[in-house]
Amino acid sequence: MNSGYDSPMTAIVVESLAKTYQVVRKQPGWGGAWRSLFHRETATIQAVRGVSFRIERGEMVAFLGPNGAGKTTTLKLLAGLIYPSSGTATVLGYVPWKREHAYRKRFSLVMGQKNQLWWDLPAQESFALHREIYRLEQSQFEKRLDELTELLEVRKLVRQPVRDLSLGERMRMELIAALLHDPEVLLLDEPTIGLDVVSQRKVQGFLRHYQDQRQITVLLTSHYMKDVEALCSRAIIINEGEIKHDGPLAEIIDRLSSQKIIQLQFADGEVAEGLEQFGRISERVGPRVKIEVPRTRIPEVLSAMLARYQIEDVGVQERPLEDVIAEFFTTPQTAHAGVAS
Amino acid sequence: MNAEALRIQWFILKTSIAERLAYRGDFALATLVRFLPIVTQIFLWGAIYGAFGDSPRGRLYGYSYGDMVAYSLLVMLGRAFSSMPGLTGGIARDIRDGTIKKFLTQPVELFDYLFWHRVAHKVVYYVVATGPFALVFWLCRGYFPAWPDALTLCGAIVSLGLAFFIGFYIEALMGLVAFWYLEVSSLVFVYMLLNYFLSGHMLPLDWLPQPYSNWILWLPFKYLAYVPAAILLNRYSHAAMLQELGLGVVWVLVLWQLNRWTLARGLHRYSAYGG
């Protein structure tokens, strides 16, 4: 146990954590292949650059960022899979990369594209092995398995070889394997990647219900904002290895988006001309239109529209989180200087 | 080792056996096909003895044709314990594609998984191969010397155990090299080549001239095939056999320690490729 575990309510403490990789760079073509035989050009990749954050017990936090931002690397550090280049971290008071069995019994890592189940065997066999590895009592194991298979609606599938399950069914089995030992911390890396909408919703619904019931600490990475909106109240945004935002999910839109959407429905059944002067038209269907307008101009624009057009219905809404985050990641980072809290 | 650890290992073994039995047809075919090389080897030695000996009953370096057939069959028995098909490549693949993470996040030792998975592989192989092995040995029974005494028989059993441990640790060690060099297939190829010669698979090691035989006999490779065969052919005195087995135990310990050291160093270097 680490003395840096400063409060019994704090589950994860990360201080100036950094991870640097050396990667080989090769010129394309035969010439590059030949030269690389004699001289390997290497480059240093700073996957995580001194990130710091804290997560309290029972929090469900989204860890967002584009591909290569450092999310998965941070999760791997917290799972003890890799050693950091510098900085410290404790999870439940343990230093993850010391890989103590006592720590491994108290957390789980689920990676959407990696299997921990035995591919050629029914999931039930993997679960039975987990029972032994995590030293679960038979009655406790049966109760947990029963509860989890019921919640995830896979009870009938546990005797089917994993290779014969659909991606969505397999992911649900992976979640069961990860939760059988009742971990206090769950690290989820893209748990709904590649799943169809129905499976995504099942996984989301399950995670929400499970976290409500158990109050476990969850750190979730996902490219699906629907996952994030459905599950998390706090988000940490990371890009190029650095934290750009850490706070309530609701604040992201306020802080990162300067626009709001005005939704109008015209009374005469057609969208009026000349709306471009108010903002960018993002959608036009029948008599309805959506216009993105700078949030500071909303009252002024609304008054002007209501005065000029016959409008049957009007509404003002925030831009979808997905659009806001996508825009944030595609806008040059200098434009966001000072965004991180 | 406590009862809990033993119980976990037993479950890893049980689950691994179940996994091995998942592809029954392929496994049975692969097991039977492994007997084909021994048939060609017996014919080859017949041709060699026919050409170089006075007759197929002549002797080469102290081995008659019958001794060579018996030696080849016993080498096959030794290799049934020491060969580890797919072990190096499997470890390298797990490191390369990130599958190894499941062994690093669960409260269990990676080597327990690898070891008991391999034991399962062997157990299923022996169950399937015992019949064909018994048939081949019975058909060739005339080539074998009389049954060895009890001490030699015990020594032979120990030597087969050593063959398993040494084969396992050498191939696992090569797999762990993937922490540094992701592709190890060339290394496996070089190893197979050396192994074929240095283990006594190609020729009995006591055929080699001085000074080569001296240093080759200090290497661990002879335990993979030559030592079990030579013990069962009564080519060692009791004292020499015990000395060989003692050296074999030292090699097991050295290789075990080397594996642990390499794993620890490798994990420090590991960057969890593959997402």
Instruction: Considering only residues A21 and B243, tell me which one the structure prediction assigns the higher pLDDT.
Output: B243
B158-170 confidence digits (pLDDT tens): 999 999 999 999 9
Alpha-carbon distance A125 to nearest alpha carbon in chain B (angstroms): 7
Q: Does the structure show a pLDDT above 80 at A67? A: no
Model-level pTM?
0.83
Task: Give the residue from B249, B204, B253 showing the smallest Cα distance to B75.
Answer: B204
Looking at the complex, does the CB of residue A108 fall below 8 Å from at least one CB of chain B? yes
In a mutagenesis test of the B interface, which of A81, A94, A107, A120 is the best target, namely the one with the most B β-carbons within 10 Å?
Answer: A81
| Cβ–Cβ below 8 Å for B268 and A120 | no
| Cβ–Cβ below 8 Å for B270 and A81 | yes
In a mutagenesis test of the B interface, which of A24, A48, A116 is the best target, namely the one with the most B β-carbons within 10 Å?
Answer: A116
Maximum C-alpha span of chain A:
75
- Residues of B in Cβ contact (< 8 Å) with A102: 107
Residues A84, A64: Cα–Cα separation, whole Å: 20
Residues B101, A111: Cα–Cα separation, whole Å: 10
Residue type, A196: D
| Cβ–Cβ below 8 Å for A83 and B268 | yes
Interstrand relation of A242-248 and B63-64 (parallel, antiparallel or unpaired): unpaired
A219-237 confidence digits (pLDDT tens): 999 878 878 888 898 999 8
Q: How far is CA B26 from the centre of its chain?
A: 21
- Superfamily of domain A10-18+49-253, CATH level 4: P-loop containing nucleotide triphosphate hydrolases (3.40.50.300)
User: For chain A, what percent of residues have pLDDT higher than 90?
Assistant: 43
Q: What are the DSSP calls for B69-93, one per residue?
A: HHHHHHHHHHHHHH--TTHHHHHHH
Residues of B with a Cβ under 8 Å from any A Cβ are 4, 7-8, 11-12, 15, 18-19, 22-23, 98-99, 101-102, 104-108, 267-268, 270-272, 274-275
Where does the pLDDT of residue A341 fall: very low under 50, low under 70, confident under 90, or very high at 90 and above? very low
Q: Where in chain A is the domain with CATH 3.30.70?
A: 258-318
Looking at domain A258-318, which CATH architecture does it have?
A: 2-Layer Sandwich (3.30)
What is the total residue count of chain B? 275
Where does the pLDDT of residue A6 fall: very low under 50, low under 70, confident under 90, or very high at 90 and above? low
| Per-residue pLDDT at B270 | 87
Where does the pLDDT of residue A124 fall: very low under 50, low under 70, confident under 90, or very high at 90 and above? very high
- Residues of B in Cβ contact (< 8 Å) with A108: 105
| Cβ–Cβ below 8 Å for A21 and B98 | no
Q: Where in chain A is the domain with CATH 3.40.50.300?
A: 10-18+49-253
Residue type, A323: D
Q: Does the structure show a pLDDT above 60 at B56? A: no
| Cβ–Cβ below 8 Å for A72 and B12 | no
